[in-house]
Amino acid sequence: MNQQSAAILEQLLRDNGLGWMIDRPESKDLALSSLLQQLDKVGAEHSRRIQTNVSFTPQALATVAERNPHKIQAFLQALAITRSPEMLVMVWRILQGLSIRKVEMNYQELDIFRLTIVLAPPRLGQAEEESYHSQDINDAALVRHFAITTINGKPLFEGFFPLWKK
């Protein structure tokens, strides 16, 4: 484990009220190592899906936090919710400015859970849509981070925001 990255990640988590994620009785280092691996997976998933390299190192996240602290807080809260790199890329893409074009949730008690979220750049058409899928019911909690509003009475999910602040 890169000690510098681990230290920056620890600071980011504590600064954003998420120290509990690493304050485990067994080992803080283990938790940090696991989260760093998760961030690597998010970077790989982003490269695979979007065909561009975005760094999800703690250093890169800290740089974004200097300009947009609420975005990193929202992303770290998502990191606490989901183990899915795909869902975390979805979160990142919304934070980058994509619109939430469609949300489909299918749940049947003790049987199935399916979540599909379709994103698109606000100015472009269907060809640019990106679909993200999950069958992990814990990922339903991500939807709570969408801001809810209406425009001319029509429903709108807009943005991905921190659910609680420091």
Partner 1 sequence: MIGGVDVVIPAVGDGAALEACVRIVQRCWPHARFEDVETGEKYAWYGDIPLGRVRELFAYSDAQAEAAWDADRPDSPPNSMLYLILSPDFVTVVIDDPNTAEMRAMLESFRTILSPIKWMDLNIEARAA
Distance separating alpha carbons of residues 85 and 149, to the nearest angstrom? 27
- Token pair belonging to 97: 């400015």
Using CB under 8 A, which of the segments 6-14, 32-40, 49-57, 155-163 binds partner 1?
Answer: 155-163
Under rule CB under 8 A, residue 101 binds partner 1: no
Under rule CB under 8 A, residue 126 binds partner 1: no
Candidates 15, 29, 130, 158: give the one binding partner 1 (CB under 8 A).
158
Under rule CB under 8 A, residue 116 binds partner 1: no
Q: How far is the CB of 63 from partner 1 (least distance, A)?
A: 11
* Amino acid (one-letter) located at 99: S
* Amino acid (one-letter) located at 81: I
Q: Is 59 within 8 Å of 69 (Cβ atoms)?
A: no
Distance separating alpha carbons of residues 166 and 161, to the nearest angstrom? 13
Candidates 23, 55, 122, 128: give the one binding partner 1 (CB under 8 A).
122
Closest alpha carbon to 41 in 75, 5, 87, 95: 87
Under rule CB under 8 A, residue 125 binds partner 1: no
Using CB under 8 A, which of the segments 49-57, 75-83, 106-114, 142-150 binds partner 1?
Answer: 142-150
Under rule CB under 8 A, residue 96 binds partner 1: yes
DSSP summary character for residue 125: -
Binding mask 47-76 for partner 1 (x = CB under 8 A): ------------------xxxxxxx--x--
The two most distant CA atoms of the chain are separated, in Å, by 52
Distance separating alpha carbons of residues 118 and 9, to the nearest angstrom? 29
Closer to partner 1 at the Cβ: 53 or 164?
164
For partner 1 (CB under 8 A), the number of binding residues is 27
Q: Is 99 within 8 Å of 120 (Cβ atoms)?
A: yes
Residues of the shown chain interacting with partner 1 in the complex, contacts defined by CB under 8 A: 65-71, 74, 96-97, 99, 122-123, 147-152, 156, 158-159, 161-165
